Structure 1
Amino acid sequence: MSHIKRVRYRTRKHEVGDQPGAIIIPEDALKPIIAVYSYNEKELVTAEGHDLKIILDQFAKCKDHTHWIQIKGLDDIKLMEDIGTYLKINPLVLEDITNTHQRPKFDEYDDYVFSVSRQIYFNEENELCNHQFSTIVKANLIISFEETHGEHFAAVKARLAGSKGAIRTAGPGYMCYALSDTIIDTYFVLLAKIGDELDRIEDRLYTDADKTIMYDTQQLKRTLIILRRITWPERDKINDILRTDNPLVTAEVKMFLHDAYDHCIQVMDLIENYKEITNSIIDLYLSMVSNRMNEIMKVLTIISVIFIPLTFIAGIYGMNFARVDPVTNKQMPDNMPELYSPHGYVYALIGMGILAVIQVIVFWKKGWFTKL
């Protein structure tokens, strides 16, 4: 796996004091692609288009079906307004759909419920993508809104086409659960990649440590912080759904939601474990750097200690206080008697060498040379 890249954040387009309920499309929004899946126990009917007409035609053709309307892309204010008018959706809900910085949540209204999740995944360039996924659930109808054109629910569509499990018979509440559970499952995939990256960094730490280890680990830690900021409200959202008495969330759906709640707890445990590992890697790397610096200082200290007395001796004999005045030949009291000694230079070097050897032997016995 290549290195995980720095997390990129998108700025909010909303201005301070904007009117509540205003639909403001993000600058990088994509044109919507609409897919309608109308299903019951006997059949599945699909249709695709780009405007409200495809939805209305499908409603007219499949009156006794449950409908999943999948909208990929949000760059169409008229479509949002038409959906709000036709289905009588509160403008505040439409605002939350297009303001793609919402935290996971669950809101109840008179005849529908609204929920938000976050789609987190690594793209082909290993950049962390954080997109909003919103759903509106009404009787026999669920509308999902996604920011991208990517396919994230192929498994759900395969189950729908194969009529596996209760997906065709348990109503739109079950479809909402299935989509949310798929999103939570992608968190496990993302955490598996982070775990592999942490293992790779740990291997580098023991074999070829350098400062990039700290940078890569810090980037993983930022990713884990983002995940933690998402999974906690996601858990609270599922808990709110479990506690609601809304008829759109049946007892059968709640049974499956308990499993999704357990998955959320598992994700949160993994995030906390990996955060501890990232902290340990950074601390261990800094400790290794400190130990390496201490070893370097130890070597320099030993060299300095050996040469200090030698420098002292060389300094004394470098003062050149002659024993005899070269002009008057008069003997100078308390001056160096060794200055004109035969072979004095050799004797001084031998003495300094012996002193250095003695110091090395003493340091060796004290264990100063251990693991230099």
Structure 2
Amino acid sequence: MARFLKKHDSKNGLPPGSLIFIGKQKTEKPRLRIIDYDSNMLRDEILDSPESLSACTESSTTSWINVDGLHEPELMQSIGTTFSISSLILEDIINTGQRPKLEEFPEALFVTLKMLFLNEDETSIHAEQFSAVLQNKCLLTFQEKPGYVFEPVRDRIRNQTGRLRKLGPDYLLYTILDCIFENYLKVIEIMGERIEEIEDEVLADPTPELLEEINAYRREIAYIRKAIRPAREIALKLARIDSDLVSPEIQHFLRDLCDIAEQSYDSVEIYREMLNDHLNSYNMAITNRLNDVMKFLTIFATIFIPLSFLAGIYGMNFEVMPELHYKHGYYILLGVMLTVVIGMLTYFKRQRWL
């Protein structure tokens, strides 16, 4: 399946809001997890069915419902019915090729973006879609499979550290997005270390393998840029949003999120330009190496032009020819050739062609 654009053949001809999963199934069975909390109470459990979620709509505590696995439209429809989520939002949630975006509704705030991860070789990227629906006392999050990115948030909730247990789901959404953007920086930093090392290798030894590596990093940086550029737009919109679901006291946190988003985007642009410079340096190094080879061959051929001329003259088969019967004529001719070679090399050296 294409990385930059997912196939939508299964949705052809269907009306808007049709729940058709688009993407690759990454977990065997969806998992529902609820963390219900306030400053004095905490409930963290895995649910077997979505029916028990209806109590969250009437609870006075903050509820975080996380769904791992997006491939069962029936489950998504049940959750959507319980929390009055629009079918258009559910359609975007289960479309893993959805472009990152932020949408504001009277009863909810919808965010979807990409989470980036390094593969084991730390030279390639894979992405997973993350979606969140913010409501009055509830935050629903949707992931393609269980992950570790949000464990620091869960630890803060369990350990009652900071203001997380005292504030509402809007601050919870901020902390989750903060984890995603911090992970962007981590991924870019790891790849950037290798990209910066390539510069010295390009100048020292521009091999075909190095060219392949440069092109591979250019593809990965383009993939990261495709995810981060719209994510930055989301952060900027959140910082300026005027919604009853986002309290004024977390606005300065959202502005800090903008700073991280801008830093991520700037870093991607820097490494993108750096890779273009590496490619130009590689081509320049190869061109210079080719010029050196051509220079050597040209000088070599130029030296042999007069030698070939002398050899051609004394290789003719005339019976009457001056110096043809000299006893030491062969050695005299070799001496003349050597003198010509030395003279030409001396001239090239004085002209700084060597």
TM-score for the superposition, normalised by structure 2: 0.92
- C-alpha separation in 1, matches of 2:136 and 2:62: 8
Q: Partners in 1 of 2:12 and 2:59 — Cα distance? A: 44
Structure 2: distance between partners of 1:247 and 1:308: 88
Aligned pair partner of 1:142 in 139, 147, 172:
139
User: Aligned runs of 1:40-51 on 2, under 5 Å?
Assistant: 40-51=38-49
Q: CA offsets, 1:269-307, max 9 Å, x none?
A: 111211121111111111111111111111111111111
Say if 2:102 and 2:112, in contact at 8 Å, map to a contact too.
yes
Aligned to 1:356: 341
**How far 1:315 moved relative to its partner?**
1.1
User: Retained in 2: the 8 A contact 1:170–1:253?
Assistant: no
Give the structure-1-normalised TM-score: 0.88
Is residue 69 from structure 1 mapped to residue 65 from structure 2 by the alignment? yes
Q: Hey, what's the Cα distance between the residues in 2 that align with 1:174 and 1:168?
A: 10
Alignment match, 1:346:
331
| Aligned-residue offset at 1:153 | 0.5
Q: d(CA) in 2 for partners of 1:48 and 1:69?
A: 10
1:191 lines up with 2:188 in the alignment: yes
Q: 2:322 aligns with which of 337, 344, 349?
A: 337
- Aligned-partner Cα distance in 2 for 1:55–1:46: 13
Aligned length: 349
- In the TM superposition, residue 368 of structure 1 has moved relative to its aligned partner by 2.5
Aligned AA for 2:326? S
Structure 1: distance between partners of 2:222 and 2:19 = 30
Contact preservation (8 Å) 1:117, 1:134: yes
Q: Any conservation in 2 of the 1:47–1:54 contact (CA below 8 Å)?
A: no
Q: Which amino acid aligns with 1:339?
A: L
Q: CA deviation at 1:32?
A: 0.9
Deviation track 1:125-150 (CA, whole Å, cap 9, x = no partner) reads: 43311111000111110100001222
- Matched residue SS, 1:18: coil
Q: 1:202 aligns with which of 199, 204, 221?
A: 199
**2:276 is paired with a residue of what secondary structure?**
helix
Structure 1 unaligned residues grouped into runs of 5+: 1-6, 324-335
Moved more, 248-257 or 205-214: 205-214
Equivalent position amino acid for 1:88 in 2: S
* Alignment partner, residue 268 of structure 1: 265
Q: 2:110–2:133: 8 Å Cα contact kept in structure 1?
A: yes
Indicate yes or no: 2:257 matched with 1:257: no
Q: Give CA-to-partner distance per residue, 1:308-341, whole Å, 9 cap, x none.
A: 1000111122221221xxxxxxxxxxxx223333
Relative to 1, partners in 2 of residues 1:200 and 1:54: Cα closer, same or farther, differing over 3 Å?
A: farther
Question: Is the alpha carbon distance of 1:11 and 1:231 closer, same or farther for their aligned partners in structure 2, counting shifts above 3 Å?
Answer: closer
> Separation in 2 of the partners of 1:199 and 1:206?
13
CA distance in 2, matches of 1:196, 1:144: 33
Kept in 2, the 8 Å contact 1:52–1:83? The answer is: yes
The structure whose Rg is larger is: 1
- Secondary structure (helix, strand or coil) at the match of 2:352 reads coil
The code of the aligned residue for 1:67 comes to: S
The answer for the alignment partner of 1:332 in structure 2 is: none
In the TM superposition, what are the counterparts of 1:94-105 in structure 2 within 5 Å?
A: 94-105=90-101
Aligned to 1:340, what secondary structure does the other structure show? coil
Query: Which of 6, 9, 13 matches 1:11?
Result: 6
Alpha carbons of structure 1 residues 251 and 281: separation in structure 2 relative to 1, 3 Å: same
Find the aligned partners of 1:27 and 1:263 in 2 and give their Cα distance.
29
| RMSD, aligned α-carbons | 2.0
Q: SS in structure 2 opposite 1:17?
A: coil
1:172 aligned to 169, 194, 197, which one?
169
Identity fraction in percent: 32
Residues 118, 126 of structure 2: 8 Å contact kept = yes
- Structure 2's unaligned 5+ residue stretches are none
Find the counterpart in structure 2 of residue 330 from structure 1.
none
Listed one character per residue, the Cα deviations across residues 160-192 of structure 1 (whole Å, up to 9, x for unaligned) are 112222212221111111111110000110111
- Higher mean alpha-carbon deviation, 38-47 vs 193-202, is at 193-202
After superposition, the C-alpha distances for 1:11-66 in whole angstroms (9 at most, x for unaligned) are 3244433321111123522221111000001121111034203534x639x93311
Shift of 1:218: 2.0
- Compare 25-34 and 105-114 and name the one that shifted more: 25-34
Q: Is the 8 A contact 1:48 1:54 kept in 2?
A: no
Asked if the contact 1:170–1:252 (Cα under 8 Å) also holds between the matched residues in 2, the reply is no
Other structure's SS at 2:6 match: coil
Q: Tell me the equivalent position of 2:351.
A: 366
